[in-house]
Structure 1
Amino acid sequence: MTKAGPASVEFRNVSMRYGAVTAVDDVSFAIEAGKLVTLLGPSGCGKTTTLRMIAGLEIASAGQILIGGKDVTRLSAADRDVSMVFQSYALFPHMSVLENAAYGPTVKGLGKDVAREMALSKLALVGLKGFENRYPSELSGGQQQRVAVARALVLEPQVLLFDEPLSNLDAKLRRRVREEIRELQQSLNLTVAYVTHDQEEALAVSDRIIVMSNSRIAQEGAPRELYEEPANAFVADFIGDANLIDVTIRSVAEGRADVAIGSASVSLPARGLGPGPARVAVRPESLILSEGAGAGLPGTIRKCTYLGNHLDIIVETEAADLFVVQYGARPMLAEGTSVKLGFANSGVTLIPPG
């Protein structure tokens, strides 16, 4: 059975309405063949509905969906070359690991021996060789997750979909399994659409991230781009921690803005903004804390918390109470200590006001 290989996915002005409720509102994006793109956002933002529309489990109310350049908007799930790994794994409890993995080719009538060979090769690929005769109830959460992935991979779909695949795992296992998914995706050159509300997970696995808010796309881009250059307050606050500070742009020249943050002055890329009120999103690790005299924004330590490999510090300033993170072995700072805050070259970004 020759397979076409990974396929691109494209949404053109796609909407999904349930009566008066719009779950997805005029969304357009593209996933390149062989890339992992994450749909990231809070509950109810439309990310799972978008994933289900790729799968054909929901049929779009408006717009066009293309897989591998072919219009599949009206095709049912059975007529799309797509597999989905569900949040609950949806394994059949009465079937062995091998029978679960062989389910797809068996249903397609490929014959017992062919289905068995296909399942065995994918189970080996996800590290479950030797587990073929066990039942789901005899496996750990991480192993069940791998069976679900093997079952989804067995027919070598053009697109593989993951819906919150790590939410049932504990924190340490989550990190390991997300690395396994990423390695598998890259080594097999799979096209993957991946849904999560966990921003660290999205940063770790993705080629690109589509951040969704209120049924629309708030911003899309590479992980670093979204973290270092958020388009607005929602993205800045949703991807990582951010201090959002009201500031004044005093002047703009040659694409750079002279910005007043309290009594401190900073020069930042203007990002299309002109003189007047604006906001700055500052990552906690981009605030440089020093004691004694010198330039910077004056402040007072209000809280300092030791967390092993870093300190979490709250500094009261005239601009706002700011959250600062200091990594490495640092001395604790006493409450009431006077400090100055400087701003690093990255992780300090102008965003529109409001």
Structure 2
Amino acid sequence: MNTVSTLTRPGASKKQAASVEFRNVTKNYGGVTAVDSVSFTIDAGQLVTLLGPSGCGKTTTLRMIAGLEMASAGQILIGGRDVTNLSAADRDVSMVFQSYALFPHMSVLENVAYGPSVQGASRKDAEAMAVEKLSLVGLSGLERRAPSELSGGQQQRVAVARALVLEPQVLLFDEPLSNLDAKLRRRVREDIRELQQSLNLTVAYVTHDQEEALAVSDRIIVMSNARIAQTGTPRELYEEPADLFVADFIGDANILAGTLTGVEGASADVKIDGLSVRLPHRGAKPGAVKLAVRPDAILLGEGASHGSAIAGRVKKASYLGTQIEYDVETATGDLFVVQYGRKEPIEPGTSVNVTFETHRGVAIIPGA
């Protein structure tokens, strides 16, 4: 794959980031439609994540950007140039694969320096660039090892460094952190994000990890059954899900039944059991509605319910250090609740009154 035409070394000019656009792109495998008439734009210099469950079409979409899969219909543009029918070698992109794909006969340093070397950098420059990126992903001191002498997580980080050492028009990541432990995953994703922003790179990033997507993305494209379910910023997707699938998939959500009793301007009054709340109506009409309520938007008060609240009983309490998680039984259904900062859990069996922080994490689901 032709990954870069201008190398990042002293005196090298920086290329302009390129946009990526899909126009009604479809990919068929025989009688199976893997991607169904998908349209979106990744603006130049943005990191956009394709997020969804296994089999939703996100990796096939990424591979069509790379030219590793050819579209059955529609048009793909990179930097305004139609690349729909161009091979991977004719697209200025670089990809980190879910598999490691390292050269077994080369050292770690040689693997990472290979791209700059074949693109014309001197051995000294190529190795200096490789050393810098290996430090970035936490592999300093392992430069002379063979891939077979590394753990799976270390091999994946070599693959990340090998892509980061080049500055393509578009950088693609397919589940790049899946083999790292939680602490390293956080560090490497932060490094990827920092590098993307400092170099103004256009990045398409595939993951099934919602926390990872929320942490690194300018925008997220949520896919379901080969189509786009919703596109938006992390905050928009979390706080204003377009449908039940997005509400349930992005983070944890309690899906509750309520009754919309009246609309005034952009707001609506909604009754859920004994609790009345005012929320943006999002196009909903008076009558039955569904609400997405995030676990950390639920407040628990000990004692019998009073006033505008939902009566509940704690079924289970789990202490997780930074937070306490509860299962709370109510007449409207069981609730999953997360509280931060509290040191002593509410004991199971305790009666509680349930209210919501409606300014965040509570939304009417349109059309549900």
SS at match of 1:224: helix
Asked if the contact 2:112–2:162 (Cα under 8 Å) also holds between the matched residues in 1, the reply is yes
Aligned to 1:350: 364
> For residues 116 and 20 of structure 1, what CA distance do their matches in structure 2 show?
51
Asked if the contact 1:246–1:353 (Cα under 8 Å) also holds between the matched residues in 2, the reply is no
Give identity over the alignment, percent. Answer: 69
| Superposition map of 1:62-211 within 5 A | 62-107=73-118, 110=120, 114=122, 117-127=125-135, 131-211=142-222
Aligned to 2:296: 285
Asked if the contact 2:284–2:367 (Cα under 8 Å) also holds between the matched residues in 1, the reply is no
**Letter of the 1:251 counterpart:** G
The partner residue of 1:14 within 10, 18, 25 is 25
SS at match of 1:42: coil
Aligned to 1:337: 350
Aligned residue pairs, count? 351
What is the CA distance between 1:321 and its match in structure 2?
1.1
Asked if the contact 1:56–1:76 (Cα under 8 Å) also holds between the matched residues in 2, the reply is yes
> For residues 353 and 324 of structure 1, what CA distance do their matches in structure 2 show?
25
Q: CA RMSD in A?
A: 1.9
Summarize the Cα distance change of 1:184–1:209 in structure 2 as closer, same or farther, 3 Å threshold: same
Q: Deviations over 1:37-58 (max 9, x none)?
A: 1101000000000000000000
**Letter of the 2:148 counterpart:** S
What is the CA distance between 1:261 and its match in structure 2?
0.6
Aligned to 1:212: 223
Summarize the Cα distance change of 1:258–1:329 in structure 2 as closer, same or farther, 3 Å threshold: closer
TM-score by length of 2: 0.90
1:303 has 2:311 as partner: no
> For residues 313 and 236 of structure 2, what CA distance do their matches in structure 1 show?
32
Q: Which moved more, 1:99-108 or 1:152-161?
A: 99-108
> For residues 26 and 105 of structure 1, what CA distance do their matches in structure 2 show?
37
Summarize the Cα distance change of 1:322–1:129 in structure 2 as closer, same or farther, 3 Å threshold: closer
Q: Which moved more, 1:151-160 or 1:168-177?
A: 151-160
**Letter of the 2:268 counterpart:** A
SS at match of 1:245: strand
> For residues 146 and 312 of structure 1, what CA distance do their matches in structure 2 show?
33
SS at match of 1:156: coil
1:48 has 2:59 as partner: yes
Summarize the Cα distance change of 1:284–1:153 in structure 2 as closer, same or farther, 3 Å threshold: closer
Asked if the contact 2:103–2:111 (Cα under 8 Å) also holds between the matched residues in 1, the reply is yes
Gaps of 5+ in 2: 1-5, 7-12
What is the CA distance between 1:224 and its match in structure 2?
1.2
SS at match of 2:122: helix
> For residues 299 and 153 of structure 1, what CA distance do their matches in structure 2 show?
51
